[in-house]
Amino acid sequence: MPDDEFESRILSFERAWQQHGPTEIADYLQPPCGSTSTERRRLLVELIAVDLEFRWRNGSRDPGSSQGATLEGYAARFPELGSLGQWPLELIGEEYRVRRRWGDRPTHADFLARFPAHRERIQAELVRVDRELEEESSAPRLSSLPAGRVSSSETWTDPALDGPLLSHHDILLRRMLGAGRMGKVYEAWQHSAGRAVAVKFLRKTFLDQPRVVQRFLGEARTIAQMRHPNIVGLHGLGRAPGGAYFLVMELVDGPNLALRSRSRLIAVQEAIPWAIAMCRALEHAHARGIIHCDLKPANLLLDGDGRIRVTDFGLARSLREDTPWTAEIEGTVPFMAPEQASSCWGPIDQRTDVYGIGAVLYTLLTGRPPWVGRRLPDILADVISAAPVISPASLRPDLPRPLSDLCRRCLSKSPAERYPTVREVRSALTDLIGEHECVERPG
């Protein structure tokens, strides 16, 4: 399942709970879900964790139970997860957490009696949750943030971020803006600066995975190098009780282009200026040796002034550090450049983002990504094959032919056949504005 589909389902489930109350998990597992049982299981575990939180916090009973939600009730409804002894440890800890916080405060003995298998592991998990809840209680302003697994007494500074870690006491969470496989984003208030901000942090399940944590910290260092009106800026890096890192970023009050393009086809008069603004942001990043590597409509936001803001540098790569190609495929497959999926197409460089620009523009103009299919492996096979993308003009005949050709050149499978730099893409787009008076020049 593509990451944006995974994120969309979790966010839609949470919003439905917030707006309408108890929500049926099964409705969010319907096709087109993941192509494998592993993907469906991963989604189901996340949805159950969200459902547990809402039910105990709101006092909603689990269907078929006279008490609050417990894992036994979910096991009866979703036998695919197996017997309770096979359930993920994180869900056992999550039920204990929400009941201690919002419900009937069960004891360790209660849980060990229900889950006699793996007693030592479960006991350790319950002790860890107790420690996190105790630490959270000492920081009520950030009590909605899940705590981590590292001591919060550590003092840490990073020269690249120009100062020490931000205090968790300075942040007041207001509402959740989005959720995905890696973490959640909240609208919050930063007391010291007197401003609304966005707070992004890792899910607690990743806090014991050093590689994932280092990537999260790397995103902070990457954004800290950039100051541009078309890039969502970083205010700082912070740490919650228990050690969970979080990013404090500019709050952009507007939709992303994925949401905007789902409601209607985007007019040429809008798409070209948006693409030019995206190019300007990427020129700034490339000048600092940073390649975004995950350009897609969901990572392009419209602020209150209608200005494009590029966000989510979580997969960015540094050319100056000579980052080697990795065998792990990273990116969103329908928008991914061939060299991100197979080294036979060459190294990742500026032309990778040129492909990304083409993929975003293609989607805005046609209403679909460059590569589509029922199964992720099929889409990936199309991405790395030599077959060219279908012409945008064949999907939308009213498109100007030069714009369609520009889009196809950006999406050339061979990097050598693309525009060599983002600056040249911007120049070509600007020339199209001159040829079509109906297109307004971006400010």
Q: How many angstroms separate the CA atoms of 261 and 267, rounded?
A: 10
| Domains located in the chain, CATH noted | 3-137 (no CATH), 157-250 (3.30.200.20), 257-435 (1.10.510.10)
pLDDT at residue 417 above 70? yes
Amino acid 83: pLDDT? 80
Nearest Cα residue to 131 out of 155, 157, 152, 154: 152
Q: Which of 198-212, 297-311, 313-327, 377-391 has the lowest mean pLDDT?
A: 313-327
In this predicted model, what pLDDT tens digit does every residue of 270-305 receive, in sequence order?
999 999 999 999 999 999 999 999 999 999 999 999
Q: How many angstroms separate the CA atoms of 181 and 169, rounded?
A: 26
- Specify whether 312 is catalytic: no
Per the CB < 8 A criterion, the answer to whether 429 and 275 are in contact is: yes
Give the mean model confidence (pLDDT) for residues 366-372: 92
Provide the Cα torsion 356, 359, 362, 367; round to 10°: -130
Q: How many angstroms separate the CA atoms of 262 and 42, rounded?
A: 26
Q: Which of 51, 62, 294, 353 is catalytic?
A: 294
**DSSP conformational letter for 156:** -
In this predicted model, what pLDDT tens digit does every residue of 310-362 receive, in sequence order?
999 988 888 766 444 344 556 788 899 999 988 899 999 999 999 999 999 99
Structure tokens belonging to residue 124: 């350790």
More reliable by pLDDT, 87 or 443: 87
Give the mean model confidence (pLDDT) for residues 377-381: 86
- pTM listed for this prediction: 0.66
